[in-house]
Amino acid sequence: MAQITLKGNPIETVGSLPAKGSEAPFFCLVKTDLSEAGPADFAGKRLVLNIFPSLDTAVCASSVRRFNQEASSLDNTVVLCISADLPFAHSRFCEAEGLKNVVSLSVFRSPEFGKDYGVTITTGPLKGLLSRAIVIIDADGIVRHTQQVAEIVDEPNYAEALKALV
Q: What is the pLDDT of residues 63-112, one digit of tens each?
A: 777 776 776 678 899 989 899 999 988 778 767 766 677 788 999 999 99
In a domain, 73, yes or no: yes
In a domain, 124, yes or no: no
Q: What is the pLDDT of residues 116-165, one digit of tens each?
A: 999 999 999 999 999 999 999 999 999 999 999 999 999 899 889 888 88
Tell me which residue of 141, 134, 137, 142 sits closest to 165, measured CA to CA.
Answer: 137
In a domain, 141, yes or no: yes
Distance, in Å, from the CA atom of 125 to the CA atom of 91, rounded to the nearest integer, reads 25
Residue 81 among the catalytic residues: no
Model pTM? 0.91
Catalytic residue among 28, 60, 81, 94: 60
Q: How many domains would you assign to the chain?
A: 1
**The CATH number of the domain where 59 resides is what?**
3.40.30.10
Q: Are 125 and 30 in contact (CB under 8 A)?
A: no
In a domain, 75, yes or no: yes
Q: What is the pLDDT of residues 8-48, one digit of tens each?
A: 999 999 999 999 999 999 999 999 999 999 999 999 999 99
**CA angle (158 as vertex; 161, 51 as ends), nearest 5:** 75
Host domain of residue 62 = 21-108+132-163
In a domain, 51, yes or no: yes
